[in-house]
Amino acid sequence: MQNLLKEIHDSISLVETNRTDNNLSKIEKTKLEETLMALTNMERTIINETNTNMLSKLSASTPALTELINDMASSTEKLDELNSKLRKIINIINFLKF
């Protein structure tokens, strides 16, 4: 769980750094805002929920993260690192389910 929380914090930091980049389009910045909201909700879930509830809520959020990854995949290379982090978060959640 600590690894997941660390990846979420690292991803939030990347979003914060990238969302002020003037070279990103308005659509890319919107996707970053959506990503930030999703990651913040995941962080709150980890902190506030019991293990059973937490995994079900985290699992429910993975499709939204996958969609954001796909939406940002065609964006600039600056978002590649964030997409990689988001994929790692999804992999950790999938691992924790089993």
* Helix H or strand E encompassing 25: none
CB 15 within 8 A of CB 39: yes
CA 97 to chain centre: 17
d(CA 34, CA 18): 13
Task: Please state, as a whole number, how many other Cβ atoms lie within 10 Å of the Cβ of residue 33.
Answer: 12
Query: Who has greater pLDDT, 77 or 20?
Result: 20
Per residue in 39-75, pLDDT (tens digit) is 999 998 888 877 778 888 888 888 888 888 888 877 6
- How far the first Cα of the chain sits from its last, in Å, is 13
- The tokens describing 94, both together, are 């999938």
* HSE-up of residue 15 (Cα within 13 Å, Cβ side): 25
